[in-house]
Amino acid sequence: MPIIEVRSLSKVYRPNTGAPPVEALRDVSFSVEAGEFVAIVGPSGCGKSTLLEIIAGLQSPTAGEVVVLGKPVQGPRTEVGIVFQEDSTFPWLSTLENVKFGLKARGVPPAVQETLAKEVIQLVGLQGFEHHYPRELSGGMRQRVAIARTLVLRPQILLMDEPFGALDAQTRIVLGNELLRIWQEIQATILFVTHDLLEALRLADRVILMTRRPGQIKRIVETAAPRPREQTPVASAKTAELANMLWEELRQEVV
Amino acid sequence: MKARILVLRWLTVLAFLLVLEVLPRAGLVRPSTLEPVSVILVRLGEILFSGTIPSPYFARAGTPTLASHLSATLGSILVSYAGAVLIGTPAGVLLWRFPVLARILNPYLVVYYALPIFALYPLFILLFGIGFLPIVLLGFLFAVVVVIVNTALGLRRVDEEIYPKVGRSLGLRPVQMYLSIYLPGAAPFVFSGWKLAFVYSTISVIASEFLISVRGLGHVIDRSYRNFETANMYAAIILVIGGVMLANSVLTWIERRLYTRVE
Amino acid sequence: MSRNLSWKIRSGQIAVVCAFMVIWQFLASRTGPMFLPGPASALRTLLDGLQRGWMVSHLWTTLLEVLWGYAWAVGVGLFVGFSIGASPLLFGAFEGPLLNLYAVPKVTLFPLFLAAFKLGIPSKIAFGAFHGLFPVAIYTWTAMRTMNPVHLKVARSLRLGRLETFRSVVFPAVLPGIVVGLRLGFNLTLLGVVLGEMFASRAGMGFLLMSFGAAFDASRILAVILVLFMLALAANALLLAFERRVKGIPELHLRVS
C-alpha cells in the first residue's frame, strides 16, 4: 500500500477581492511508496507548493482527496513534516530552541527534548552553533536549522517545498548530499518540490513533471541511478540525457 | 567617521550652550527673558538638592516642594499611559482578529491624529473641573490610538510571514500559536506602540498642566513664566526635557534590541 | 473586494458616525446643555458664530498662522531632511538627538518663542512651524536613506549631473515618503498654533477656546472645537488625496506616528 495517495486533486482559488478565480491544480493523481524519494518539478506558479501544502494539511482541496498512511488528510498530522522555501527559522530563538520548538509544543519532557535536539543538530551538522541565533547564521545553515526542527519530530513523511530555492548553487549541492545521507539514515519518505530539473534528477528515485497553471501531471519518470549517489555540479551522461529529454517537455510549459 | 560624528554632535551642543550662556551675560538678552545657562543649572541643582522651589508664589500656593509637582505629573502620566496600554492592546488584538472591523475603522484611525485633540481640554475642564481627571482623560485619548494601531499592525505583519504556517504544520494549538508565534513575532511593533504612547501621554499631561492646572511640572513652568521667575522656569523646563529624553532613550534602546531579535 | 463586503464596510462606517452622534446626544441629555450641548445645538452655535461673526476674525487669524507656520515647517523641514539624508556625517551626529527632541513636550519651550517673537502672530507661526518641521524632516531623511542604492549607481553609470540625478532619480524615489511627512507635519503645525494661542494670545481659535472656557460657555467651546476638527479633516482629505496620487494606491495603510 502506498504511503501517500493523491486522488484527482483540484484546487481553485476564489479571491474575495472580486478578481476572477484561479485554477491552481486540475485532477492531479499519483502515489508515493514508503521510503521513496520523489521530486516534483514544474514551472513557477504551477501549483507545486499548493499541492504540497494540501498534502501537509495546511490547505484544503476544492475536489479530490489525499490519503496518508491509509487515512484521509484533514489537517496537519504528526507523521508528516514540512520544510518551507522561505527562511522559516524563528529569529527570536537560538538554534537549539528552534529545534526544540515542536517537541516543546507536544509536551515532550525537557530532558528528552535536549537529547533529541542535540542528536538531530549533530545529524544536520550544526554542532557548535547550538546557541547562535538565526541572524548569526548563513542562509544554508538557517535552512539546516529548519530541516532539523522538522526532523526532530521523527516524521515518516518529509515534505520539502523548494528547501534550497533561496540558496546559492554550491550550497545547494552540498545540502543535497547531506539530505541524501540524512534520508538514508532516518528511513523516511521524501516528497521534494523544486523548479530545478537537474536537482530533481540528482536527488530523486522518481520525478513528477507538472504542466503550467492549472497544474496537471505531465509525466512521471524513474531516474534509476544507483544509490548511494554522490552529488556533483556536472551530471552523469545518463542523467544528462534524461535531463535533455525532459527539458524538451518542460520548455513548452515555460512560456 | 565615528569620531567625527561624536565631535560634531558634542561641539554643536556645546556651541548651543555657550550661546545661551553668553547672550544674557553680554546684555544682549534681558535676564527676565533668559538667564545664563550656568545660573539655571545651579538653580536646578538647588531645587533638586533641597527639594523645594525657591519661589514666594509656590510658598503661598502651598505647593513649594518639588515632590508635590513631580508626583502630580508622574501620577497623571502613569494612569493615562496604563489606561492606553491596558485598553489599547486588547483593542488592537480585536482589530486584527476581525479584519472587517479593521476596514470599517481604518479611515477614522488614519485621521485620528489629524485632529487637534487638545482643543477638547477646556471642555473637559468644564465637565470635570480643574485637576487630575481632565488631564488623565486627555492623556489617555492622546496615547490610546497609537497602541491600538501598532498592536494590530504588528500582528498582521506576523500573518504575512511564514511563522503561522510553520506553527500549524507543527500542530500547535491556538493558545500555543498565540504564546510562541504571535507574541514574540509582534512584540517589537507592539512595544513601539507602547513607547509612542508613553511619549504622547507625557506630552499631553505636561501641556495640560501648562495651560490650566494647580499642580505639576507643566504648572511650575507656566507660573514661573507668568511671575517672571525665569531661573525657576528654565530649571523646570530642563528637568522636564531631560527626564523625557532619558526615558525616551531607554525605551528606544529596548525597542532596538527587540527589533534585532526579529530581523 | 466583492460588492457585498464593500457595502458592509460602507454601512459599518456610517454606523460608526451614527453611534458617535447617539452617544454624544445621550451624554448631552444626561449632563444638561450647560455643560455638554448636543450635536444639533453645537452646530447651531457654529452657524451663529459664522453669521454674526464672533468666530470669523479668529478663524482667519488661525488660518493665517497655520498657513505661514506650515510653509516654514515644509521649507525648513525639507532642508533639514535633505541635508541629513544626504550626509552620513550629519545623520550620525544629529539623527538621534533630533528624534529625542521630537519626543519632548515642545509646549514647555513656548515661553522661549514668546520671548523671541513677542505675543502676536509671529510667535504662533514660529511655534507651529517648530512642531510641524519634525515629521517633514524625519520622513524626508528616512526616505533618502532607504532609497535603493542601485538606482544611484545607475545614475552615476549614465553620467547624470547632480541636479539631473536629484530631479530624475532621488526626488521620485523619496516623494512617497515625503508626502506622509507633509501630512503629519500639517497636523502638528495646527496643534502647535492652537496650543500657542491657548497659552498666550489675544486672537485665534485657541484664544476663543480659553476665553469661552473661562466664561463657562460650553456651547461656544464645542462650536470652536467642531470648526477646528473640520479644518483638520478638510486639510487631511486634501493631503491624503495627494498621498494616494503620489503612491498610486487605492487604499492607504494605517500610519500614525
Residue type, B4: R
Per-residue pLDDT tens digits for A194-205? 888 888 888 888
| Chain A interface, best mutation among B160, B161, B169, by max A CB count within 10 A | B169
Contact flag A105-B166 (C-beta cutoff 8 Å)? no
Vertex C210: Cα angle to C209 and C212 (nearest 5) = 70
Same domain, C124 and C181: yes
**C-alpha–C-alpha distance, residues A159 and A55, integer Å:** 8
Per-residue pLDDT tens digits for A162-184? 888 878 888 888 888 888 888 88
- Choose among B111, B123, B221: nearest Cβ to C221: B123
In chain A, what percentage of residues exceed pLDDT 90? Answer: 27
Q: Where are the domains of chain B?
A: 1-34, 35-262
Same domain, C67 and C1: no
Report CA-CA distances (Å) from A184 to A123, A148, A177, A190, C228. Answer: 12, 15, 11, 11, 73
Same domain, C1 and C49: no
What the block records as the C-alpha cell of B91 is 483593542
Q: What is the dihedral of CA B166, B171, B172, B173, to 10 degrees?
A: 140
Q: Is the per-residue pLDDT at B42 higher than 90?
A: yes
C193 closest CA partner among C126, C137, C238, C133: C126
Task: Give me the helices (H) in B26-131, please.
Answer: 37-50, 56-61, 66-97, 99-112, 121-128
Distance (Å) from the alpha carbon of A28 to chain C's nearest alpha carbon:
30
Give the chain B residue whose CA is nearest to the CA of C206: B119
Residue type, C175: L
**C-alpha–C-alpha distance, residues C237 and A177, integer Å:** 59
- Choose among C88, C100, C199: nearest Cβ to B245: C100
Q: Is the per-residue pLDDT at A32 higher than 50?
A: yes
Q: Is the per-residue pLDDT at A222 higher than 50?
A: yes
Per-residue pLDDT tens digits for B79-88? 999 999 999 9
Chains that touch A (3 or more CB pairs under 8 A): B, C
pLDDT (0 to 100) of residue C2: 56
Q: Is the per-residue pLDDT at A78 higher than 90?
A: no
Touching check for B180 and chain A: CB below 8 Å? Answer: yes
Contact A39, A32 (CB under 8 A): no
Contact A64, A10 (CB under 8 A): yes
C37 closest CA partner among C217, C206, C213, C231: C217
Q: What is the ipTM of this complex?
A: 0.89
Residue C57 domain-assigned (yes or no): yes
CATH code for the domain defined by B35-262 = 1.10.3720.10
Question: How many other β-carbons are positioned within 10 Å of the β-carbon of residue B120?
Answer: 21
Residue C257 domain-assigned (yes or no): no
**C-alpha–C-alpha distance, residues A164 and A152, integer Å:** 19
Q: What is the dihedral of CA C24, C25, C27, C28, to 10 degrees?
A: 110
What the block records as the C-alpha cell of A187 is 528511513
Distance (Å) from the alpha carbon of B164 to chain C's nearest alpha carbon:
22
Same domain, C109 and C158: yes
Burial zone of B31 (CB within 10 Å; 0-12 exposed, 13-18 middle, 19+ buried):
middle
pLDDT (0 to 100) of residue C162: 83
- Choose among B172, B176, B262: nearest Cβ to A92: B262
Which DSSP state fits A19?
A: P
For the entire predicted model, the pTM comes to 0.86
Q: Is the per-residue pLDDT at B167 higher than 50?
A: yes
B:118-177 residues touching chain A, CB 8 A cutoff: 162-163, 165-166, 168-173, 176
Domain range spanning residue C24? 1-31
Q: Is the per-residue pLDDT at A226 higher than 80?
A: no
Same domain, C142 and C44: yes
**C-alpha–C-alpha distance, residues A200 and A212, integer Å:** 17
Strands, E, within chain C: which ranges? none
**C-alpha–C-alpha distance, residues A134 and A145, integer Å:** 9
Report CA-CA distances (Å) from A226 to A172, A203, A230, A231, B76. Answer: 21, 11, 10, 12, 77
Vertex B229: Cα angle to B224 and B233 (nearest 5) = 55
Same domain, C97 and C125: yes
Residue with cell 516528497: A191
Contact flag A17-C2 (C-beta cutoff 8 Å)? yes
Per-residue pLDDT tens digits for C66-77? 999 999 999 999
| Strands of the sheet with A206-210, listed across from one edge | A80-83, A157-161, A189-194, A37-41, A206-210, A217-222
Residue C217 domain-assigned (yes or no): yes
Contact flag B170-A58 (C-beta cutoff 8 Å)? no
- 3-state helix, strand, coil split of chain C in percent (to 5) is 85, 0, 15
**C-alpha–C-alpha distance, residues B203 and B198, integer Å:** 9
Mean pLDDT over residues A206-215, rounded? 86
A25, β-bridge pairs: A11, A215
Question: What average pLDDT is seen over chain B?
Answer: 91
pLDDT (0 to 100) of residue A224: 67
**C-alpha–C-alpha distance, residues A193 and C204, integer Å:** 69
Vertex A138: Cα angle to A84 and B158 (nearest 5) = 45
**C-alpha–C-alpha distance, residues A144 and A146, integer Å:** 5
Q: State the CATH number of the domain containing residue C194.
A: 1.10.3720.10
Same domain, C67 and C11: no
Contact flag A17-C3 (C-beta cutoff 8 Å)? no
Distance (Å) from the alpha carbon of A93 to chain B's nearest alpha carbon:
8
Residue C254 domain-assigned (yes or no): no
Question: How many other β-carbons are positioned within 10 Å of the β-carbon of residue B1?
Answer: 8
Same domain, C1 and C106: no
Per-residue pLDDT tens digits for C14-59? 999 999 999 999 988 888 777 888 888 889 998 988 888 889 999 9
Same domain, C25 and C88: no
B86 closest CA partner among B148, B179, B175: B148
Question: How many other β-carbons are positioned within 10 Å of the β-carbon of residue B127?
Answer: 16
Contact A129, A49 (CB under 8 A): no
**C-alpha–C-alpha distance, residues C109 and C119, integer Å:** 14
The pLDDT-based confidence of A139 (bands split at 50, 70, 90) is: confident
Contact C88, C29 (CB under 8 A): no
Which DSSP state fits C34?
A: T
Measured between beta carbons, the chain B residues lying within 8 angstroms of A113 are none
| Chain B interface, best mutation among A92, A136, A147, A152, by max B CB count within 10 A | A92
What the block records as the C-alpha cell of B116 is 487637534
Query: Helices B121-128 and B132-160: crossing angle, nearest 10°?
Result: 130
Strands A157-161 and A80-83: parallel
pLDDT (0 to 100) of residue C3: 60
Q: What is the dihedral of CA C178, C179, C184, C188, to 10 degrees?
A: 80
Residue with cell 505647593: B63
Same domain, C23 and C148: no
Same domain, C2 and C89: no
- Choose among B109, B233, B240: nearest Cβ to C105: B240
Q: What is the mean pLDDT of each run of 10 residues along chain C (257 residues)?
A: 73 92 90 83 89 90 95 96 91 91 90 83 94 95 88 79 83 89 94 92 91 89 93 92 76 44
The pLDDT-based confidence of A231 (bands split at 50, 70, 90) is: low
